[in-house]
Amino acid sequence: ITLDIIIVKDQEAGGKKAFELIKEGMEKDAKVLGLATGSTPISLYKEMTASDVDFSDMISINLDEYVGLSGEDTQSYRYFMNENLFNQKPFKEMYVPNGLADAETECKHYDDIIAANPVDIQILGIGGNAHIGFNEPGTPFDSTTHKVALTESTIEANTRFFDKAEDVPRFAYSMGIASIMAAKKIILIAYGEGKAEAIKATIEGKVTEEVPASILQNHKNVVIIMDESAAKLL
């Protein structure tokens, strides 16, 4: 197994470490960043926005978006990306799936975007059930961009961002596992005890579709950045 593990003190240190790896990649000509939402990458985006690095000739491709939300909706992942990164640091192109578009058209369109812009460095968070992007347990490893029915546990985990539980979208468009695995380098980030079991299963468990992130054991260039709490069961 070639998973490279880095344990950091806290989220701030994790953000700095992840940004160092991105800058190293950019020096070696990385042009396309795969980006993620959720609370995990926020400290990385803080480092990026506070830096003097220019991303305006780079391309970003986000993992996923809720179905039914427009980019202006404050709960959409497009809005999150604008707020946390793109407003301060625009890229040449900033792709996020269009949550209002028809499923078949949008998934095909997004796969075309990924094919035309192969991801150099993919940033990933991880769900408590080891989902990556919105690829829930059971998602085929050969999946490309697809429409996903979110699991109850993911909907529940996301309710903290919404006023009412019934406002949480039930579906999302997500890059598939195969799309994620096509990235040249993958940086998975995990903080907190809530991720400890997912991290253990991902790193030490068997590679199975029941643990989506376990597929990373088959990738040649993966770095996992985590804090002590996420690492505590290793």
129 binds ligand GLP (CB under 6 A): no
* Least distance (Å) between residue 64 CB and ligand GLP: 5
176 binds ligand GLP (CB under 6 A): no
156 is catalytic: no
* Least distance (Å) between residue 94 CB and ligand GLP: 17
136 is catalytic: yes
Is the CB of 39 or the CB of 74 nearer to ligand GLP? Answer: 39
Binding mask 10-49 for ligand GLP (x = CB under 6 A): --------------------------xxxxx---------
The position carrying tokens 């990235």 is 183
- Residues numbered 145 to 164 that lie near ligand GLP (CB under 6 A) are 154
How many residues sit close enough to ligand GLP to count as binding (CB under 6 A)? 13
Give the span between the Cα atoms of 176 and 20, in whole angstroms.
27
The position carrying tokens 């209002």 is 100
Amino acid present at 232:
K
Give the span between the Cα atoms of 136 and 148, in whole angstroms.
8
Q: Which of 47, 65, 120, 136 is catalytic?
A: 136
Strand arrangement of the beta sheet that strand 59-62 belongs to = 3-8, 222-227, 185-190, 121-124, 32-35, 59-62, 93-95
* Least distance (Å) between residue 27 CB and ligand GLP: 27
CA distances from residue 188 to 160, 213, 226 in whole angstroms, order as listed: 23, 9, 8
Please say whether the beta carbons of 61 and 32 come within 8 A.
Answer: yes
Q: Which residues would be at the binding site for ligand GLP (CB under 6 A)?
A: 36-40, 63-64, 125-127, 133-134, 154
